[in-house]
Amino acid sequence: MSDSHYDLAIIGAGPGGYVSAIRAAHHGLRVALVDPNPPGGVCLHTGCIPTKTMVASVDLLRQAQQSSQWAVSIAQAEAQLASIVERRQKVVTKLAAGVQNLIDKNGVDYFSGRGRLKSPTEIEVIDGEDNVTQTLANPRAIILATGSRPTELPIAPHDGARILNSNDLLTLTDLPPRLLILGGGYIGCEFASIFAALGSEVTVLEAEPRLLPGMDPDLCDFLRRGFKRQNITVRLNETVQTASATAEGVTVQLANETLEGTHLLIAVGRTPNTEDLGLDAAGVALDGRAISVNEFLQTNVSGIHAIGDVTGKMQLAHVATAQGRVVVDNLIANKNEARMNYDEVPAAVFTHPEIATIGLTEAEAEARGIPIRMGRFPFAAIGKALAQGETDGFVKLIAHAETGKLLGGHILGGHAAELIGQITLAIKLNATAEQLTETIFAHPTLSEAILEAAESLFGQATHLPKARKR
């Protein structure tokens, strides 16, 4: 069966694909969306939502265990992993039903099957037995949004029982007594924070000199100290030689030492899903394992775009959504006006405390030859933070030394992922640090730390002692 009347055909129904489909439908385009699984992608089913649901349970457990600090007595505070998993699945199921309803209500045609390019202008829909059930021919535009999967390591053969990826870890209902985590990026750090709070003995192994490589070093150093207080062992500059499952657990061989645990999580990144996508048949070029795209998310083949993790850019759900918006907006306008600016993309790590960041770090600004000034303010000097018992952390702002334009914002502390939105908006609107200091922030709120960090850029933070001149 063939259909040649679609304005837009999308392979992949994750947060990039399904949001692009709905947005295009809002503008009257006829849209086909192809995916073998229910809509929502990794983010909804095995990524953002499941892990953040677990984080919510763990945060409540942590507060209950420390309730005496709030002058509240809770006799017993404990959590069962199986019950957390059950609640998590209820959240995912409810959201998945909501996404499917949105797709249906907006008139998007959903094809359950694997999408593959037959040519630069045709998509085949393939069922579980590798039969072609549908051919979508000559849409005005095609979007490839097939996402990514956990990267596997030959030195640590994945078995799903003892040597796990992030998908496997989410299926556990019995708490791993001794969890080793290979990789100190955002996935490894989030799971370390979750399982340590639940009672696992956690060790993080990272090959780089610090956790969260690529992020602001001040954030990374502060997080490492926080992990130490949470009894999470962090081993930096460690290279794993081999890892193997045993009857009792797993053995990890380092350069000069052997570690043993009950489980090993491999968290060394994600690999774009480009296999068996028909890229060769369509002539779509790769950049390594990822699909090569320009700032308009165009591939080298006219009419074919790619968004999300499969592009190898910032592997974040909201990046996929933003990239999809660029494609759809340009398709509607019939010209290239919208484009991606990755300096305006926030990122969050849901550890304890949370981390959120946007824009340039000091090192990145220096590499670009941009003169900067830096301001910083601790949550310990914020009344709302003290009242809530969330005094760990700080807000750090980076601005152009001459124009004052905000270039970056970095937060470690309670609700950092929510607070970063204010700095994101300021950067998007090309605001200056001075304009931030002239903005009225509600009191008492944690966001006052943003105001004070802006003031500190000028050496005028109200609630920090000013250094005496000699």
Classify the C-alpha dihedral 344-227-159-260 as positive or negative: positive
Which is the catalytic residue, given 5, 26, 27, 443?
Answer: 443
443 catalytic per annotation: yes
Bridge-based pairing state of the strands 394-400 and 372-378: antiparallel
- Three-class SS string for the chain? CEECCCCEEEECCCCCHHHHHHHHHHCCCCEEEEECCCCCHHHHHCCHHHHHHHHHHHHHHHHHHCHHHHCCCCCCCCCCHHHHHHHHHHHHHHHHHHHHHHHHHCCCEEEECEEEEEECCEEEEECCCCCEEEEEECCCEEEECCCEEECCECCECCCCCCEECHHHHHHCCCCCCEEEEECCCHHHHHHHHHHHHHCCEEEEECCCCCCCCCCCHHHHHHHHHHHHHCCCEEECCCCCCEEEECCCCEEEECCCCEEEECEEEECCCEEECCCCCCHHHHCCCEECCEECCCCCCECCCCCEEECHHHHCCCCCHHHHHHHHHHHHHHHHHCCCCCCCCHHHCEEEECCCCCEEEEECCHHHHHHCCCCEEEEEEEHHHCHHHHHHCCCCCEEEEEEECCCCEEEEEEEECCCHHHHHHHHHHHHHCCCEHHHHHCCCCCCCCCCHHHHHHHHHCCCCCCCCCCCCCC
Catalytic residues: 443
